Chains A and B, each alone.
Chain A
Amino acid sequence: MVPTALVDELATIVDERGLITAPEQRATYECDGLTGYRCEPGAVVLPTDAEQVAAVVAACARHDTPFVARGAGTGLSAGALPHPDGVLIGLSRLRRILSVDPANRRILVEPGVTNSEVSAAVGPHGLYYAPDPSSQIVCSIGGNVAENSGGAHCLKYGFTTNHVLGLEVVTPDGEVVWLGDGGADPPGYDLRGLVIGSEGTLAVVTKVWLRLLARPETTRTLVADFASPTEGGHAVSAIVGAGIIPAAVEMMDNLAIQACEADAAAGFSTDAGAALIVEVDGPAAQCDADIARVERLCRDVGASHIRYANDPGERARVWRGRKAAFAAMGRLSRQYFVQDGVIPRTKLGQCLATIADMAAEAGLRVANVFHAGDGNLHPLVLYDDRVDGEPERAEKLATAIAELCVELGGSLTGEHGVGADKACSMPKMFSDADLDVMARVRTAIDPHGLANPDKILPTPRLCGERPGPYRPHPLEEAGVIERM
């Protein structure tokens, strides 16, 4: 519930379409891509420009009411999970492309513009926007900024934070400020870099200057089959050791391949233990030399089959197969939890072996899709919600896998974010002092704790006295939210 006085104020800021208070309509916004957590927002507003966003946030501040920003709702860490007594601010109506500036290799967009719309807009100039999350057809730039999204090509090209030149944001007191001026370096402290990846807990983004690149001259893609992911990992090590930085290196294990083939028929070998997709791009001569070396290295490690995907149609097919992996899991299982842990690449074999042991012990199947070049795993823990206790076991396994990644020297999350999903695991990765400094910085920007509270940092309310394996969310126990 939000104060009636606030609702009345919101009604004066946004148009009729832009204020949603009816319960059955608010329910539309009760979750993002992590559908296991649902919570009805107190109210929903859908502003149409930055001034409205600022006025909404200022109104929330005046009424001491929390707010949660939402892009396309494709997030996988419950970053856009609403607050039951807060306002859900949907940014999807801020979807204009404001300036295309090819001479300066940049574009100014509103946060509701989708990732792939950006590349489409600048394609005629021979330019593109490099970060390519698998959900790029639908995910929003604002969401990409909030999560510092990566994608398959981030090994070579980096993440959202390496491609943002400026941000117009609304701070938690309702002020509009620019972080960065659209040039290479923001003046003063790099608040631009701080806000990127801050998951909506510091500010609401209302405009973004994005950096563009010229399309590479050539792209070469191959798919190599191996007997197991461990061998595939050896191939990746060999490639990196040879001084080649591919544009993308993706791996799928046998279970993931089966799902993808059943769904997208992308031409992967269903009897391969692992499929490795390697893509190089850049000057033609460099690509040709590099992909030839990649093929040789894969064969040296024992690749059973190599397939080139060099015409655009064939390459698109390969990537469609890979990017449909999560959705394709529906072929194998009613439900899944997907994790997002990162490990040093050299620990891949050990990590996968341990995951397999843990899965066997839990009596569950885990399919593995991952960005092999940077060690970002996406274990898909498959479960059937009709089987008693299986969802709980699956969630426990998913959390254990994320924490295993930390123990191996990696990270809880490579691109999906901490959100609500992994906040209680943060003490596994960071010390009390580390988390305290983060909290200090957060308080500096959001002194009243209104910007997407209960995300990123663990709180006793969220996690109980001691961090550890999953325990039901207090709101869940109170019957306010439910797990599906």
Chain B
Amino acid sequence: MIAIADGEPHAHDRAATLPPARLPVRGDGAPPDGEANVEVARPTSLAEAAEAVTGSGRVLLRGGGTKLDWGAPAEGVERVVDTGGLNRMVRHDPADLTATVQAGVSLAELQAELGRSSQWLALDPPLHDHAGRAATVGGVVAAADHGPRRLAYGAPRDQVIGATFALADGTVARTGGNVIKNVAGYDLAKLLCGSLGTLALIVDVTVRLQPLPEASATVGVHTTPAQAHRVWLAVSDAQLEPAAADHVADLGSGDQAGWLWLRFDGSETVVTEQARRAATLAADQGLETTTPEGPLWDDTLMSSLAGGADETVVAISTVPNVGSRVAATAARAAADAGVEARCHSHVALGLHRVVVAGGAAADHAAVVAALRADGHRAELRRRVAGVDDHTDAWTDGPLPGAWPLMRAVKQRLDPDRRLAPGRFLGGL
């Protein structure tokens, strides 16, 4: 039986106790706009966590509060369960490259702690939202957020090897284990990743870790979105291995030209050589290259992905080689609606974020509609108030064929539909 640290470290652990995670800026724990008279529970142990999700009310789970508006608005929330009190590192085994961390620990603090052993959890989503609230590990997993280096290291689902969770009926259970290689039983952690708090309260996750790269080098190539994909293929065919390949463009210019940033991680001499070879490849194609000024990956691009206070972020998923259509469609729609937009693409993965600013909520919704009309899956992330009055957060079209299976899973795990009802795809 795998023992669970119920708020206490294992006796034999090299346990690290992290300071409590920062609470969201709305200090009294008020839930999303428009809700009043909502109680807030802040469990500090596994038992309290299980207790907190039971009962009869509709529950919204909250970590740092940085992604509360992902998915559709939850219906009639009566209680918020805040994970800020689940803020301990349960175990860190550097020699085994694994760690178990409670859901309320901020990702930034986790990385700082792991960094002391020259390791990291290989996820680089925005660590803070526009208001400075810190993203928690539980929230990153529940939202399946990711960053540019997903190209090399994968998404949250590829890092989580185990999880402890509480169901709406108070059942506490564990999935996976403490070892990276494990196929015993169903991989329920996959269901939890991206479930936006609609299936269970994630109490802790066990994750695989990576050694911190010694060095990093970045080259920028000036390209249109279509050229960006071709450059990525050329770089990959040349057997260069970028950790990230992100194209960022303001969509005001005619051809959506912007910068393709290629990041290489590894030993100092190796990354310098890789970046040089990539720059040469680009120059051979007649493309302008540059090196970044300032904290590109940690700052500029993170803000771009997270979106600002008055911006709507739309997450689009395509097959990589048609990704350029996203920028083109978004540019046209933004021009029609009289709003500003930029597009941030993980070129090799076909994952894009179109960020819309200015104008009214209806204009932002119009951009979303245009992207969907062009055949792309486009889901809302953070957004300005009112967008939900004009468009569904998930889709305009038919639900995926597998949706009845998703509903069946939801019904088995949350039969009374109390965990963020209505938040998930198809109103689950």
Contacts and interface: CB of A to CB of B under 8 A. Distances in A.
B98 A191 contact: no
Given A237-B95, A410-B178, A441-B191, A183 B318 contact: yes
A217 B277 CA distance: 13
B190 A194 contact: yes
B175 A148 contact: no
Interface stretch (B15-23, B255-263, B403-411): B403-411
B270 A285 contact: yes
B387 to A, nearest CB: 20
A327 interface: no
Contacts of A192: 190
B190 A426 contact: no
B173 A437 contact: yes
Given A374-B180, A438-B188, A443 B233 contact: no
B400 A178 contact: yes
A479 interface: no
Contacts of A342: 177, 179, 181-182
Contacts of A103: 229, 233, 320-321
Residue from the set B171, B185, B409 with the largest chain A CB neighbour count within 10 Å? B185
Nearest to B199: A189
**A103, A161, A196, A245 pick with most chain B CB within 10 angstroms:** A103
B412 interface: yes
Contacts of A289: 267, 269-270
B167 A437 contact: yes
B155 A185 contact: yes
Interface hub of A154, A375, A441 (most chain B Cβ within 10 A):
A441
Contacts of B409: 189, 191, 441, 444-445
B174 interface: yes
Contacts of A105: 236, 320, 348
B211 A434 contact: no
Nearest to B158: A162
Interface range, B side: 35 or more
B96 interface: yes
A148 B184 CA distance: 10
B210 A245 contact: yes
A411 B186 contact: no
Interface in A277-308: 282-283, 285-286, 289
A376 B179 CA distance: 9
B21 to A, nearest CB: 26
B227 interface: no
Contacts of B317: 181, 183-185, 187
B69 to A, nearest CB: 18
Nearest to B192: A190
A147 interface: yes
Given A187-B425, A189-B194, A243-B211, A148 B183 contact: yes
Contacts, number: 257
Contact of A243 (B118, B181, B186, B236): B118
A409 interface: yes
Contacts of A413: 182-184
A263 to B, nearest CB: 26
- The CB with the most chain B CB atoms within 10 A, among A185, A416, A456, is that of A185
Nearest to B266: A286
B274 A283 contact: yes
Contacts of B288: none
A283 B178 contact: no
A365 interface: no
Nearest to A282: B241
B176 to A, nearest CB: 9
B10 to A, nearest CB: 10
Contacts of A285: 267, 269-270, 273
A215 interface: yes
Given A185-B155, A194-B190, A345-B96, A214 B236 contact: yes
Contacts of B320: 103-105
B4 to A, nearest CB: 10
A286 B167 contact: no
A191 B93 contact: no
A188 B95 contact: no
A115 interface: no
Interface string A411-436: 11111111000100010111101111
A448 interface: no
Interface in B411-428: 411-413, 424-426
Interface string A11-36: 00000000000000000000000000
Contacts of B185: 418, 426, 429-430, 434-435, 438, 456
B110 interface: no
A375 to B, nearest CB: 6
A252 interface: no
B426 to A, nearest CB: 8
B237 A214 contact: yes
Interface in B213-246: 214, 229, 233, 236-237, 239-241
Contacts of A415: 181, 183
A440 B191 contact: no
B30 interface: no
B360 interface: no
A289 B1 CA distance: 41
A317 B411 CA distance: 53
A177 B239 contact: no
A185 B351 CA distance: 9
A349 interface: no
Contact of A215 (B178, B239, B321): B239
A435 B406 CA distance: 20
Interface string B264-278: 001101100110000
Given A417-B183, A434-B175, A283 B155 contact: no
A431 B409 CA distance: 21
B346 to A, nearest CB: 8
B6 interface: no
A77 to B, nearest CB: 9
B360 to A, nearest CB: 28
A189 B195 contact: yes
Contacts of B408: 444-445, 447
B367 to A, nearest CB: 20
A198 interface: yes
Contacts of B406: 188-189, 191
Contacts of B154: 158, 162
A343 B174 CA distance: 18
Interface in A157-195: 158-159, 161-162, 171, 175-179, 181-185, 187-194
29 contacts: A103-B321, A148-B183, A159-B181, A162-B158, A183-B377, A184-B350, A185-B351, A187-B317, A188-B426, A189-B191, A189-B195, A189-B425, A190-B193, A194-B188, A194-B191, A240-B97, A286-B266, A289-B269, A342-B177, A346-B96, A375-B179, A410-B178, A413-B184, A415-B181, A418-B183, A429-B2, A431-B1, A433-B171, A441-B186
Interface of A: 103-105, 126, 147-148, 150, 154-155, 158-159, 161-162, 171, 175-179, 181-185, 187-194, 196-198, 214-217, 237, 240-241, 243-245, 282-283, 285-286, 289, 342-346, 371, 374-376, 409-418, 422, 426, 428-431, 433-438, 440-445, 447, 456
Given A176-B401, A193-B190, A414-B179, 9 more contacts: A105-B320, A155-B180, A183-B317, A241-B95, A283-B270, A375-B96, A429-B1, A429-B2, A431-B173
Q: Across chains A and B, which 9 residue pairs bring their CB atoms closest together, nearest first?
A: A193-B190, A243-B211, A217-B239, A414-B181, A444-B408, A411-B182, A177-B401, A188-B425, A444-B412
